[in-house]
């Protein structure tokens, strides 16, 4: 028995970046388990470490180095593999990090068990990263048991080529799973105790391209998913404004399971900057999308991505963005401070904004975001929503999100973890979350 136990290799995972990376790490970890490896926590002296990186993360290189160092401290003889967007963009650079045994690109990462057969250490670092044009296959993925919600990958890559973005270089062309395969995954997930599925992708509104040809449409996908029983909630994570059709908005407004929450990247409220960025819409279209959503779903949560300090963003143009957002009926912002990325069109553009100015603008929008969030929460006080409670405790309180993405706090009760409960929103506490009426008094079964 002892002998057998020592033969089973232990593998640990670390994920940086977005929901897509989480879904992929989770799927790769299940591949390891199916092959007889034991999945362990990062600090449980693993034999193998898989680090899934992100290129959007600030200081991706430093972060990666730090995690590798940490891994080697925990298990000095371990086999360290780096995958993910940063691995695709800078494979050579990563291979020079001390302690890295293998670097795998986008086309290779799902075949890593087969490619790194046995994970035997070699003198040289293995670099298996094809050109990004070779990443044409869609690998399906979903996260499981890592969080209360499951992230289901339905689409990968992007054909848009915005001036600031490296994602197409790291993830390749737009490609999707078939609706049939996705429904299969949804049915599998429905067999578990997962209550909420978040649809993820790089550009999910562009769903439907298979082998370079448009075969299906996003609207048909969400309609098909809505017909699968056994999952209470579906959330669309992020969708480009020009791809968020009236039909999709109307569908969500009537669906009992697609929740009223959209995350719609704006990036700039100035048409001049939107054109320079190569975005495929103008601010008028964005405003129209927000109005359409709010007319049909007054309680809908709308999150916005915005970039500050893009080349050519003068004080006046930044104020256009600020004022536009200030007047728009949105619920929160994700603010990104522009930073130069190699091999993008934006690095060669004139009108570089000083770092200090970028940071000041970022701060202004973060304050605006808090104001928007508070107003959105206030507008919803006194109403009844359904909360999915998570497993985090802080000062005797547990937290969860309503269907329209309001973060609530309630008295800790382990029975409520991963449960959907109706609550009445009472007040905003000093931490900015919403207190609900005591569960025992107000909950009804879903
Ligand atoms: S739409 Fe633009 S920002 Fe989004 S992934 Fe594609 S290129 Fe990048």
User: 178: which residues sit within 8 A by CB, 6+ positions away?
Assistant: 210, 215, 216
Q: Is 201 in the pocket of ligand 1 (CB under 6 A)?
A: no
pLDDT: is 3 or 244 the higher one?
Answer: 244
| pLDDT beyond 50 at 444 | no
Cα 394 to Cα 413: distance, rounded to the nearest angstrom: 12
Nearest C-alpha to atom 8 of ligand 1 is from which residue?
165
For 171-215, what is each residue's pLDDT tens digit?
A: 999 999 999 999 999 999 999 999 999 999 999 999 999 999 999
**Which pLDDT does position 150 carry in this prediction?**
94
Of 50, 52, 58, the C-alpha closest to 20 is: 52
**Which pLDDT does position 280 carry in this prediction?**
97
Span from the CA of 158 to the centroid of ligand 1 (angstroms):
6
> Could you identify the atom of ligand 1 that is nearest to the CA of residue 159?
6
**Which pLDDT does position 392 carry in this prediction?**
83
**Does the domain made of 141-379 have the CATH classification 3.80.30.20?**
yes
Q: What is the mean pLDDT of residues 390-412?
A: 92
**Which pLDDT does position 147 carry in this prediction?**
63
Nearest C-alpha to atom 1 of ligand 1 is from which residue?
160
Cα 103 to Cα 396: distance, rounded to the nearest angstrom: 43
Q: Is 202 in the pocket of ligand 1 (CB under 6 A)?
A: yes
Cβ-contact 206, 189 below 8 angstroms: no
Q: What is the mean pLDDT of residues 117-126?
A: 90
Span from the CA of 275 to the centroid of ligand 1 (angstroms):
14
Q: Is 274 in the pocket of ligand 1 (CB under 6 A)?
A: no
Q: What is the mean pLDDT of residues 275-287?
A: 98
**Which pLDDT does position 117 carry in this prediction?**
84
| pLDDT beyond 80 at 438 | no
pLDDT: is 420 or 442 the higher one?
Answer: 420
**Which pLDDT does position 7 carry in this prediction?**
78
**Which pLDDT does position 443 carry in this prediction?**
44
**Which pLDDT does position 18 carry in this prediction?**
86
**Does the domain made of 10-131 have the CATH classification 3.40.50.2000?**
no
For 259-272, what is each residue's pLDDT tens digit?
A: 999 999 999 999 99
| pLDDT beyond 80 at 445 | no
**Which pLDDT does position 224 carry in this prediction?**
97
Q: What is the mean pLDDT of residues 328-338?
A: 97
Three-state secondary structure string covering the chain:
CHHHHHHCCEEEEEECCCHHHHHHHHHHHHHHHHCCCEECCCCCCCCEEEEEECCCCCCHHHHHHHHHHHHHHHCCCCEEEEEEHHHHHCHHHHHCCCCCCEEECCCCHHHHHHHCHHHCCCCCCEEECCCHHHCCCCCCEECCCCCCEEEEECEECCCCCCCCCCHHHHHCCCEECCHHHHHHHHHHHHCCCCCEEEEECCCHHHCCEECCEECCCHHHHHHHHHCCCCCCEEEECCCCHHHCCHHHHHHHHHCCCECCEEEEEEECCCHHHHHHHCCCCCHHHHHHHHHHHHHHCCCCEEEEEEEECCCCCCHHHHHHHHHHHHHCCCCEEEEEECCCCCCCHHHHCCCCCCHHHHHHHHHHHHHHHHHHHHHHHHHHCCCEEEEEEEEEEECCEEEEEECCCCEEEEECCHHHCCCEEEEEEEEECCCCCEEECCHHHHCCCC
**Which pLDDT does position 57 carry in this prediction?**
66
Map out the domains of the chain as residue ranges. Answer: 10-131, 141-379, 383-437
Span from the CA of 4 to the centroid of ligand 1 (angstroms):
48
CATH topology identical between 10-131 and 141-379: no
Q: Is 165 in the pocket of ligand 1 (CB under 6 A)?
A: yes
**Which pLDDT does position 146 carry in this prediction?**
60
pLDDT band at 439 (very low <50, low <70, confident <90, very high): low
| pLDDT beyond 90 at 58 | no
CATH code for the structural domain at 383-437: 2.40.50.140
pLDDT band at 4 (very low <50, low <70, confident <90, very high): very low
Share of the chain above pLDDT 70, in %: 96
pLDDT band at 135 (very low <50, low <70, confident <90, very high): confident
Q: What is the mean pLDDT of residues 408-419?
A: 93
pLDDT: is 391 or 364 the higher one?
Answer: 364
| pLDDT beyond 50 at 1 | no
pLDDT band at 17 (very low <50, low <70, confident <90, very high): confident
């Amino acid at each position: 028995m002892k002998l057998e136990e020592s033969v089973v290799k232990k593998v640990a995972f670390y994920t940086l970046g977005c929901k897509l990376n989480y879904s992929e790490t989770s799927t790769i970890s299940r591949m390891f388990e199916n092959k007889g490896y034991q999945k362990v926590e990062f600090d449980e002296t693993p034999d193998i470490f898989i680090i899934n990186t992100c290129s959007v993360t600030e200081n991706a290189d430093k972060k990666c180095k730090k995690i590798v160092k940490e891994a080697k401290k925990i298990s000095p003889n371990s086999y360290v593999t780096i995958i993910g967007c940063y691995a695709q963009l800078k494979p050579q650079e990563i291979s020079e990090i001390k302690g890295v045994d293998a670097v795998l690109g986008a086309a290779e990462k799902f075949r890593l068990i087969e490619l790194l057969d046995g994970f035997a250490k070699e003198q040289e670092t293995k670099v298996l990263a094809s050109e990004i044009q070779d990443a044409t296959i869609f690998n399906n993925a979903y996260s499981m048991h890592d969080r209360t919600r499951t992230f289901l990958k339905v689409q990968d890559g992007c054909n848009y080529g915005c001036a600031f973005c490296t994602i197409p270089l790291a993830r390749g062309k737009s490609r999707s799973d078939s609706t049939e395969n996705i429904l299969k995954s949804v049915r599998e997930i429905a067999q578990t105790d997962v209550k909420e599925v978040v649809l993820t992708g790089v550009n999910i509104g562009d769903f439907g391209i298979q082998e370079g040809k448009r075969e299906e449409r996003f609207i048909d996908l969400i309609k098909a998913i809505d017909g699968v029983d056994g999952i209470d909630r579906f959330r669309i994570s992020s969708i480009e404004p020009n791809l968020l059709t009236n039909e999709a908005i109307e569908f969500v407004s009537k669906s009992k399971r697609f929740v009223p929450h959209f995350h719609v990247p704006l990036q700039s409220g100035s048409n001049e900057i939107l054109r320079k960025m190569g975005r495929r819409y103008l601010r008028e279209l964005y405003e129209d999308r927000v109005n359409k959503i709010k007319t049909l779903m007054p309680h809908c949560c709308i999150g916005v991505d915005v970039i500050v300090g893009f080349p050519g963003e003068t004080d006046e143009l930044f104020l256009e963005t600020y004022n536009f957002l200030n007047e728009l009926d949105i619920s929160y912002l994700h603010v990104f401070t522009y930073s130069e990325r190699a091999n993008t069109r934006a690095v060669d553009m004139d009108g570089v904004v000083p770092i200090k100015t970028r940071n000041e603008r970022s701060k202004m929008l973060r304050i605006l975001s808090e104001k928007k969030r508070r107003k959105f929460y206030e507008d919803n006080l006194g109403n009844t929503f359904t909360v999915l409670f998570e497993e985090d405790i802080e000062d005797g309180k547990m937290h969860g999100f309503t269907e329209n993405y309001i973060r609530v706090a309630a008295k800790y009760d382990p029975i409520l973890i991963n449960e959907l409960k109706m609550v009445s929103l009472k007040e905003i506490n000093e931490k900015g979350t919403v207190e609900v009426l005591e569960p025992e008094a107000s909950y009804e079964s879903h």
